[in-house]
Amino acid sequence: MLQRYFSWARKAITDFHQLHSSGRKITEFHLSSIIKICGRVEALQEGRQSHCLLLKLGFNADLILMTTLLDMYSKCTNIHDACRVFDEMPHRDVVINSMISGLCRCHLPSYAIDLFTKMNQFDRDVGTWNSLISGLGQNSEGRAALIFFGRMRVEGVEVDVMTVISVTSICADMAMIIHAQQVHGMVIKFGFELYLPVGNAIVDTYAKCGCMGDACLCF
């Protein structure tokens, strides 16, 4: 199935080049679609070509397109170009979540933390916290992620489903049963147990912590 998707993506890239070569008008929708595809299959060369075309057509002021471009570079683990796009954007505060995720994806969690801490506290939303916490967890920085989760709660930021899934997964990876139980209590308090991914994460956490009785009860 994955191979089929890659074949489809390559065909889409070829079709886009043919469209451009034919002289037909390239719209923001065309560029957004092809840049997303380049990111998903890590087609860096084609992504760069799309970037050049975007600049040539004068779409560099389009916030959505530039955010898509930043995301593409980070998915291709080309953090240099991702940072360049980020630095050139006039309104960076609205794409900072993507930049934090990109830095973590490229295994640069310390840079992500630095970018996060330089933000104004009031500019951080739940998505910003989630990007950092999840990214740290994916870089085996679970303890740091839990510290930031604690800060998130102290600052009064409301958690959402994505926060709970990330923190629960970190507790599972580190077999931290006390933290897991605290998060489970929060899940019940906010009614998140109704979401299947959250329930699965709780069961997985208890199982990895060796608490099979609790895992069976949650199941």
Tokens of 189: 């308090």
**Cα–Cα dist 64/70, whole Å:** 10
With 0-12 / 13-18 / 19 or more C-beta atoms within 10 angstroms meaning exposed / middle / buried, residue 183 is buried
- Mean pLDDT for 93-118 is 93
Quote the pLDDT of residue 4.
75
The pLDDT value given to residue 94: 75
Q: How many CA atoms lie within 13 A of 172 on its CB side?
A: 20
- Whole-prediction pTM value? 0.84
Both tokens of 142, joined, read 């679970």
Asked whether residue 106 carries a pLDDT value surpassing 60, the answer given is yes
pLDDT for res 110 = 96
pLDDT tens column, 53-94: 999 999 988 989 999 999 999 999 999 999 999 998 877 777
Residue 45, pLDDT > 90, answer yes
Residue 1 has a pLDDT of: 59
pLDDT in tens, 121-179: 888 999 999 999 999 999 999 999 999 999 999 999 999 999 999 999 999 899 888 88
Percentage of the chain lying above the pLDDT 70 cut: 97
- pLDDT tens digits along 2-38: 567 778 888 899 999 999 899 899 999 999 999 999 9
The C-alpha atoms of residue 136 and residue 108 are separated, in whole angstroms, by 9
Q: Note the pLDDT of residue 117.
A: 95
CA distances from 16 to 5, 49, 59, 75, 135 (A): 16, 11, 17, 20, 33
pLDDT at 205: 86
What is the maximal distance between C-alpha atoms in the chain? Answer: 65
pLDDT at 217 over 80: no
Q: Is the pLDDT of residue 43 over 70?
A: yes
Q: How many other C-beta atoms are found inside a 10 Å radius of the C-beta of residue 109?
A: 21
The alpha carbon torsion through 168, 175, 200, 145 (nearest 10 deg) reads 20
